[in-house]
Amino acid sequence: MKPHLIVLDLDGTLLTDEKVISEKTIQTLKQAEAQGHHIMIATGRPYRASEVYYRQLGLTTPIVNFNGAFVHHPGNRSWQTIHETISLPVVKEVIDAMQPFSVHNIVAEVMDDVYMHYHDEKLLDIFGFGNPIITQGDIRQYLQVNPTSLLIQANENTVDPIRRHLADVHAEVIDHRRWGAPWHVIEIVRHGLNKAVGISHVSKWMDIPRERIIAFGDEDNDLEMIDYAGVGVAMGNGIDRLKSIADEVTLTNNEDGIAQVLKERLHLS
C-alpha cells in the first residue's frame, strides 16, 4: 500500500475528554508508521499547547497550528515556515465593533505572546499553558504587531450575532470559527486560512496526493480539512454539520474512533 498522510485534530479527536491519547490509539498510530504511513497534527491550538502530544507520538512531520495560520516543522529549521497574521488595524476595528455586544473577553495571540483584554483567572489557566508572555489590559493599547489569531469570548446567545456581524463587515479580511462546547469562543484568523490550506502545503512537500490523505476531526474548524482529504472522517462526538460532509463517521474520541478507521482502511493487523 502506498504511503498515506494521516491528519489528526487534537481536542475532541485524538485526545479523550481527559486530554490524553489512549494507549490503543498510540499503538495503532505506531503500527501505521511502521507500515510507511505518515502522521501529522492539525489543530487550532498554538504550538506550545500541542508540542507535548507531538513529542509523545514521536512525530517527524510538520504541524499545522492556529487553524492554518502557522505551519512549521519542529525538527527541520530549513523547512519553509508559514505564518499568516491579521492586520493590526483590522484587529482594532473588530475590538471597537464588539462594544455593543455582550463580550466576556478578547484575547490576541502573537505566536507565544498572549494579550488579554480583561483579567480572567480561568482563561489565564488555559492560555498559560507553555508559559507564554501574558499582557493584560486594553489590547488596542498594548498590541503593537499583527497577531496570529484573535479570540472573542461571548455569551452563548451573542455568538451568532457577532459572527453575522463579522461576516457582514469583515468577510474579505478575516475568517472565523466557533469553539466547541462549553466554550462560547469565536476564533478569528486571516481570511483564506484554514487547516486544509496548511495540510495542502505539507502534502505537496511530502508528495502525497489528496486521495491518500485521511483526516480526522470533530468541530467547526475541521470542515475544510474533512472536505479536502481523500478520506474525511468525523468523530462520533462531532457536530452534525461535519458528519454531513464526511466520508465516514467513526466512534467517539473516548472510544478509539481513530484506531477503528485506520485498522480498517490501512489493513493494520
Count up the domains in the chain and report the number: 2
Q: Tell me whether residue 247 is one of the annotated catalytic residues.
A: no
pLDDT at residue 17 greater than cutoff 90: yes
Residues 96 and 173 in one domain: yes
Residues 186 and 199 in one domain: no
Tell me what pLDDT residue 123 has: 80
> Alpha-carbon distance 160 to 130, whole Å?
31
The SS3 call for residue 154 is: strand
pLDDT at residue 165 greater than cutoff 70: yes
> pLDDT band for position 181 (50/70/90)?
low
> Alpha-carbon distance 194 to 192, whole Å?
7
Q: Which residue, of 139, 159, 190, is where some domain finishes?
A: 190
- Per-residue pLDDT, averaged over 197-217, amounts to 97
Tell me what pLDDT residue 128 has: 78
What CATH number does the domain containing 228 carry? Answer: 3.40.50.1000
Q: Mind listing the pLDDT tens digit for each residue in 19-60?
A: 999 999 999 999 999 999 999 999 999 999 999 999 999 999
Q: Mind listing the pLDDT tens digit for each residue in 96-116?
A: 999 889 899 999 999 889 999
Region at 132 (left for phi over 0; alpha for psi -120 to 50; beta for the rest): beta
Tell me what pLDDT residue 178 has: 84
Residues 77 and 128 in one domain: no
Tell me what pLDDT residue 256 has: 98
Range of the domain at 141: 88-190
Q: Mind listing the pLDDT tens digit for each residue in 119-136?
A: 888 888 778 778 889 999
What CATH number does the domain containing 185 carry? Answer: 3.30.1240.10
For the chain, give the percent of residues with pLDDT over 90. 83
Q: Which residue, of 173, 190, 207, is where some domain finishes?
A: 190
Residues 75 and 105 in one domain: no
Strand 185-190's sheet: what is its strand order?
133-136, 113-116, 103-110, 149-154, 185-190, 174-178
pLDDT at residue 259 greater than cutoff 80: yes
How confident is the prediction for the chain on average, in pLDDT?
94
Is the pTM above the cut of 0.95? no
Q: Residue 232 corresponds to which cell in the numbers above?
A: 474525511
Residues 98 and 176 in one domain: yes
Catalytic residue among 9, 218, 222, 256: 9
Residues 197 and 174 in one domain: no
DSSP structural state of residue 19: S
Q: Which residue, of 190, 215, 242, is where some domain finishes?
A: 190
Instruction: Please check whether residue 106 is in contact with residue 162, taking contact to mean a CB–CB distance below 8 angstroms.
Output: no
